[in-house]
Structure 1
Amino acid sequence: MTTPAIQLMNTLRSGNSTAPRLTWYGPEGERVELSGRVLDNWVAKTSNLLQDELDAEPGMKIRLALPPHWKSMVWALAAWQLGLETILDDGGADFLVTADPDLLNGKAAGQAPAGGTYDAVIAVALPALAMKWPGELVGGCLDYAAEVRLHGDVFLAHADPDPLARAISGSDGREHLQQDLLGGFAASHDDGVRLHIPAADGLEAVLSNALGAWKQDGSVVVTHPDVQLTDKLLAAERIHGN
């Protein structure tokens, strides 16, 4: 069964698939630009990692303990495409995705900082060119940078996601179902918008605004809090209204 997340990925990889859809400005001059096709490629590989390597199934929960970042957005899209519920707070989940596996404080892999347990813990190195996690990982943690490239570029679900299952719970306490992801959770934006989203607004706001822009065939530019939003950057990225 097709859900809005699946429809969105179909749209991003078809039509004008070479157009920029997600541009990230990170610290120290880092700039990453993903076309619809490349974004879909990352999402497909991540979905395949979840499904084929970690046995993720629709209805399971994944905690994204990540800062606002282009890789965080990939993980959220992959989770929704698979039919998982994303957890952005410290609630319980089947999987933990983190840029700081030291949060485990040396405990046995699979144990959450709050005392809960995870089926798997995935460590995400944030630098764009990272080919593996820099340094030692807590035993049992999966190295996303090293593993994701081993998975296929096309995602074929083993089971249909349930459109009536939760996709995410917002900070306002509202629960958004898979079938309502683009209707209730996504922010409202104009057709074809080139939208600037400050990472300082938080991951929930970044995801909501990005979904709203993509829904309208638009694109987004996400900037790290350390990046100065200059007139030169705004002009180069064709951002208006900031």
Structure 2
Amino acid sequence: MSIPAIELMTALRSGQSTSPRLTWYGPDAERVELSGRVLDNWVAKTSNLLQDELDAEPGTRLRLDLPAHWKSVVLALAAWQLGMEVVLDAAEAELIATAEPDPAAAGGAFETVVAVALPALAMRWPGELPSGVVDYAAEVRSHGDFFMPHVDPEPDRPAVRTAAGPVHTHGGLLAGFAAAGQASEAGLRLLVRAADGLETVLAQALAAWQGDGSVVLVHPDVPVTERLLSDERVSRS
């Protein structure tokens, strides 16, 4: 049974698939541009990593202990495509994705810890990782470009647990959670500020994509100049 996250990824890879869908501006002059096809490729590889290597399935909880970042967005989309629950607060979860892996977490509250190196060109975690911690950058590229769930996700399962708001189901992910993003204009090129936090960034991105739009995600240390807005053809900031 299809859920909105699967339908969204289908739309992003098929409609204007070569157009920018997610553009990231990070520190040290980072600029990463993902077309619909490339974004879908990253999400598919990540879903396959979660399902095939980490034994995730519909209902498995993934805590995103990450700043708002293009890789955080990819991980959330991958989890939703699989039918998982994305945890954005301190609630319990089986898996955690973090940029600061704690050796205690690997053998404690989580079954699996995924270390996410945030620099755009990182091919692996810089340095040693605690035993049992999965290196996202090193592992994700070896997985397939097409995702097929082993078990069909169910629309009534929880999709996202936020810090202060309600738990949204997969069936209501776009109508509920994404509605807070308030992007209603079709084809919108939306500026999204990472400083607003991951929950807000995810809601705004989903809302923009739901309307066949695209997102320019900007790190807090990157000034939003008139040149940036013009170069990226931002239609709302």
Among 209, 219, 223, the alignment partner of 1:214 is: 209
Aligned to 1:107, the other structure's residue is in SS state helix
Aligned to 2:14, the other structure's residue is in SS state coil
Distance 2:235 2:209 in 1: 17
When normalised by structure 2's length, the TM-score is 0.96
**Gap regions ≥5 residues in structure 1:** 112-116
Distance 2:105 2:110 in 1: 11
Name the amino acid aligned to 2:59: G
1:142 match: 134
1:132 match: 124
Runs of 4+ in 1 over 3 A off after TM superposition: none
Report if the CA contact (8 A) 2:85-2:159 is conserved: yes
When normalised by structure 1's length, the TM-score is 0.94
Among 216, 226, 234, the alignment partner of 1:231 is: 226
Deviation by residue 1:177-225 (Cα, 9 ceiling, x = unmatched): 1001010110231110000000000000000000000000000000000
Q: Would you say 1:166 and 2:163 are equivalent positions?
A: no
Distance 1:137 1:172 in 2: 32
Name the amino acid aligned to 2:112: A
CA RMSD of superposed structures (Å): 1.0
Name the amino acid aligned to 2:206: L
Instruction: Give identity over the alignment, percent.
Output: 62
Among 176, 185, 191, the alignment partner of 1:184 is: 176
Report if the CA contact (8 A) 2:188-2:236 is conserved: no
Instruction: Report how far residue 239 of structure 1 moved.
Output: 1.1
Distance 1:153 1:108 in 2: 30
Aligned to 1:221, the other structure's residue is in SS state strand
Aligned length: 234
Instruction: Report how far residue 107 of structure 1 moved.
Output: 2.5
Report if the CA contact (8 A) 2:89-2:162 is conserved: no
**Gap regions ≥5 residues in structure 2:** none
1:114 match: none
Matches within 5 A, 1:96-107: 96-101=96-101, 104=102, 106-107=103-104
